[in-house]
Amino acid sequence: MSLRSLLTGLAALGLLATIWYSERIVAPERTEGPVRITYWEKWTGFEGDAMRAVVDEFNRSQDKVFVNLLTISGIQDKTLLAVAGGNPPDVAGLYGPNVAQYADDRAILPLDDLCRKYGITAEQYIPAYWNIGYYKGHVYALPTTPASTALHYNRAMFREAGLNPDRPPRTLEEMDGYAEKVYQRDPSGRLVRAGFMPSEPGWWNWGWGYLFGGRLWDGKSKITANSPENVRAFEWVQSYSRKYGATELQQFRQGFGNFSSPQNAFLAQQVSMVLQGVWMYNFIDMYAPKLDWRAVPFPHPADRPDLANSTYVDEDVLVIPRGAKHPEEAFQFIRFVQSQKGMEMLCMGQRKHTPLVEVSEEFRKNHPNPYIELFAELPKGKNNYAPPQLGIWPEYRAELTNAFDEIALLKKTPKEALDAVQARMQPIMDDYLKVQRLRGEEH
pLDDT digits (tens, 9 = 90+) for 116-170: 999 999 999 999 999 999 999 999 999 999 999 999 999 999 999 999 999 999 9
Q: Give tens-digit pLDDT for 414-424.
A: 999 999 999 99
Closest CA to 313 of 147, 202, 152: 147
Pick from 40, 34, 14: nearest CA to 316: 40
Is pLDDT at 21 greater than 60 in this prediction?
Answer: no
| Euclidean distance between CA atoms 279 and 113, whole angstroms | 33
Sign (positive or negative) of CA dihedral 302, 169, 353, 109 = positive
Q: Which of 29, 42, 46, 95 is nearest to 69 (CA)?
A: 42
Q: Which amino acid is at 378?
A: L
pLDDT for 367 equals: 98
Banded model confidence at residue 441, pLDDT cuts 50, 70, 90: confident
pLDDT at 5: 43
Give every CB contact of residue 295 below 8 A, 6+ residues apart in sequence: 150, 151, 152, 153, 276, 280, 371, 374, 375
Q: Average pLDDT in the 376-402 region?
A: 97
Average pLDDT over residues 188-192: 94
Per the CB < 8 A criterion, the answer to whether 102 and 111 are in contact is no
User: What mean pLDDT is predicted for residues 253-269?
Assistant: 96
**Does the pLDDT at position 276 exceed 60?**
yes
| Of residues 178, 154, 377, the one with CA closest to residue 269 | 154
For residues 199 and 253, is the Cβ–Cβ distance under 8 A?
yes
* Burial call 259-270: b when 16+ CB within 10 Å, e when fewer: beeeebbbbbbb
pTM of the model: 0.91
193 forms beta bridges with 184
State how far the Cα of 239 lies from the Cα of 408, in Å rounded to an integer: 9
pLDDT at 231 over 90: yes
Give the C-alpha separation, 275 to 199, whole Å.
10
Contact between 125 and 355 (Cβ < 8 Å) = yes
Strand partners, 311: 384
Question: pLDDT band at residue 28, thresholds of 50, 70 and 90?
Answer: very low
50-91 pLDDT, tens digit per residue, is 999 999 999 999 999 999 999 999 999 999 999 999 999 999
CB 34 within 8 A of CB 64: yes
- pLDDT above 90: percentage of residues in the chain: 91
Instruction: Decide if pLDDT at 20 tops 80.
Output: no
Residue whose C-alpha is closest to residue 134's, from 110, 114, 116, 104: 110
User: Which domains, ranges and CATH numbers included, belong to the chain?
Assistant: 30-148+313-385 (3.40.190.10), 149-312+388-434 (3.40.190.10)
Q: Average pLDDT over the chain, rounded to whole? A: 93
27 or 384, which is more confident = 384
Please enumerate in sequence order all residues whose Cβ is within 8 A of that of 21, keeping only pairs 6 or more positions apart, or say none.
none
CA dist., res. 2 & res. 234, Å (int): 43
pLDDT digits (tens, 9 = 90+) for 93-122: 999 999 999 999 999 999 999 999 999 999
Q: Residue 428: pLDDT band by 50, 70, 90 thresholds?
A: very high
pLDDT tens per residue across span 34-59: 999 999 999 999 999 999 999 999 99
pLDDT over 70 at 289, yes or no: yes
What confidence tier does 215 reach under pLDDT thresholds 50, 70, 90?
Answer: very high
Please provide residue 145's backbone torsions phi and psi, each rounded to the nearest 5 degrees.
-100, 130
Give residue 7's pLDDT: 37
DSSP 117-157: HTT--GGGB-HHHHHHHEETTEE--EEEEEEEEEEEEEHHH
CA neighbor of 216 nearest in space, from 428, 435, 396: 396
Share of the chain above pLDDT 70, in %: 93
| Residue 440 banded pLDDT, cuts 50, 70, 90 | confident
Q: What is the pLDDT of residue 442?
A: 65
Cα separation, 245 vs 261, in Å, equals 27
- Give every CB contact of residue 400 below 8 A, 6+ residues apart in sequence: 205, 206, 216, 225, 421
Q: CB neighbours (10 Å) of residue 378?
A: 23
